[in-house]
Amino acid sequence: MKRFTVAGAVALACLTLSSTAAAIQAGQWYGRFEIGHSDLKIEVDGLSADDTDTAYGLRIGHYFTPNVAVEGFYSILGDRSIQGVSYDMDAVGLGVVGKKAFGADNTGFFIAGRAGAQSVNTKLSADGVSLRDRSTKPYVGVGVGYDFDHNNGLSLNYDYNTGDLFNADVTAQTLTLGYEYRF
């Protein structure tokens, strides 16, 4: 009877460990680097100015299921200087990602959406005078892409970001190419 009890305990322990290992493998961490085009716009009292620049972003997150992730990010949305006037906008944020893969075993083509909150740092400088404002705003984005395997994927992403610069509204619409590595 003791041998049966010990054998049962060992079997139960093995089942528990294997189910714990399977649960850990079900979630994946990932890192994504994005680079692309940013359309920057400032509006105040009916007047507006816009320009384009290169956008960069680094996102780190965790897929709790193959379809749902939480991610944090840092993005440089624009950094321009034209005729003595410089403007830059960057953001740090936290959000939720939803993803639907159309290939077998969660690989192949996919669509994705993301939304969350970000802290946007906006700075405008001209003739030695600098204005800087930090605001917390929502962001939204969509993407399409292809996962080559369980670790590597490419995506084309569109994000809409807003911020404040005192009385001015600022926006950055970005179109980026992203490389994601999951581990």
DSSP for 56-110, written as a single string = EEEEEEEEEETTEEEEEEEEEEEEEEETTEEEEEEEEEEEEEEEEE-SGGG-EEE
d(CA 119, CA 91): 5
Q: Mean pLDDT, to the nearest integer, of 144-167?
A: 94
Q: Mean pLDDT, to the nearest integer, of 71-80?
A: 93
> For 118-135, what is each residue's pLDDT tens digit?
999 999 888 888 889 999
pLDDT at position 21 is 34
Q: How confident is the model at residue 151 (pLDDT cuts 50, 70, 90)?
A: very high
pLDDT at position 15 is 44
Q: Look up residue 140 and give its amino acid.
A: V
Q: Is 4 helix (H, G, I), strand (E, B) or coil?
A: helix
* pLDDT of 25 higher than 60: no
pLDDT at position 83 is 78
Share of the chain above pLDDT 90, in %: 60
Q: Look up residue 46 and give its amino acid.
A: G
pLDDT at position 4 is 38
> For 106-116, what is each residue's pLDDT tens digit?
899 999 999 99
Low-confidence winner among 4-13, 24-33, 96-105, 162-171 (lowest mean pLDDT) = 4-13
> For 81-120, what is each residue's pLDDT tens digit?
777 788 889 999 999 999 999 998 889 999 999 999 999 9
Report field, pTM of the whole predicted structure over 0.85? no
Nearest to 171 by CA among 180, 158, 182, 157: 158
Residues 6+ apart with CB under 8 A from 112: 97, 98, 99, 100, 142, 143, 144, 145, 155, 157
Average model confidence (pLDDT) across the chain: 86
Instruction: Say what the alpha-carbon torsion angle 34, 94, 161, 59 is, to the nearest 10 degrees.
Output: 0
pLDDT at position 26 is 55
